[in-house]
Amino acid sequence: MKNIILVIEDEPDINKTISYNLLTEGFEPISAYNLSEADNWIQSNSPDLILLDLMLPDGSGLDFCKRIKSKDKFNNIPIIILTAKDDEVDKVVGFELGADDYVTKPFSVRELILRIKAILKRKTITSHSENVDSNESKEFGKLKIDADSHEVFIDNNEIILTALEFKLLKHLVDRRGRVQTRDQLLSDVWGYSAQITTRTVDTHVKRLREKLGIMGKHVETIRGVGYRFSRTPD
């Protein structure tokens, strides 16, 4: 069965180009040129992934993302944000609402396809293996990570993380004391290949540090290489 990709993009040329390339890669693209069309289609359908432009004629893509992620039926659908501006605020807000990645226009359609394939592959692997280490619980000083419930606590206060932020934190803590390059993180956490270039790692790490507060200092930047979680909580 073909994976269904909902393309929400108001520029006809971009929408048609993306849809054509998705079709040639074996996907089933559904084109929507505004939020109203997307809302009408999704009421009785469920895509495998959504490509979402932020600036649409009848509303904000971020508001649509928030609505989708707030519904149990749709909250596991991956979303890639398409944006015409390299705006850090939009990226952070999008990630906070549950978006999986962003692509800044103009973009390479080939790279977009690679990202889509990687995210769908990661989604499949996660759905089959999410219980493999579900009984693990990790403590690091004031930080506690409950892998079973996907909850994080600092001083017994819950820290609300997105699914990707949780996966990134757990990955770093599991390998504390060891440097993880950006390419390694993209491969292990996002499922991306070396062919894909993105600064999504840096944006997620920045946001993760902010949420961890006093524990954020343990996510160390190794200049020119990547990131490392402290070996000890001291």
Mean pLDDT of the 180-186 span: 89
Distance CA 135, CA 45 (A): 34
pLDDT in tens, 53-102: 999 999 999 999 989 988 888 888 999 999 876 666 676 777 778 788 88
Burial of 178 (0-12, 13-18, 19+ CB in 10 A): exposed
CA distance 97 to 115: 19
| Residues 162, 167, 169, 175, Cα dihedral to 10° | 180
Specify the higher pLDDT residue, 128 or 63: 63
Question: Which domains are delineated in the chain?
Answer: 4-129 (3.40.50.2300), 137-229 (1.10.10.10)
φ, ψ dihedrals at 48, nearest 5° = -85, -20
Mean residue pLDDT across the chain: 87
* Per-residue tokens: 118: 């990687």
Beta strands 137-140 and 143-146, pairing class: antiparallel
* Buried-state track 4-16, b at ≥16 Cβ within 10 A, e below 16: bbbbbbbeeebbe
Contacts 24+ apart (CB under 8 A), 86-90: 88/203, 90/54, 90/62
Chain-centroid distance of CA 198 in Å reads 12
pLDDT at residue 132, as a whole number:
47
Which has more pLDDT, 125 or 85? 85
Q: Rounded distance, CA 196 to CA 186, Å? A: 9
pLDDT of residue 121: 83
pLDDT band at 136 (very low <50, low <70, confident <90, very high): low
Q: How far apart are CA 212 and CA 191, in angstroms?
A: 24
DSSP per-residue codes, 4-36:
EEEEE-S-HHHHHHHHHHHHHTT-EEEEESSHH
Say what angle helices 88-96 and 200-212 make with each other, to 10 degrees.
60
Structure confidence at residue 125 as a pLDDT band (50, 70, 90): low
Tell me, what's the pLDDT at 198? 67
Q: For residues 21 and 31, what is the distance between their CA atoms, to the nearest angstrom?
A: 13
Q: What is the pLDDT of residues 4-21, one digit of tens each?
A: 999 999 999 999 999 999
What number is the average pLDDT over the span 185-213?
A: 82
Q: What is the CA radius of gyration of the chain?
A: 18
- pLDDT at residue 134, rounded to an integer: 46
47-58 burial code (b ≥16 CB/10 A, e <16): bbbbbbbbebee
pLDDT for position 131: 46
Instruction: Report how far residue 108's alpha carbon sits from residue 164's, in angstroms, rounded to the nearest whole number.
Output: 24
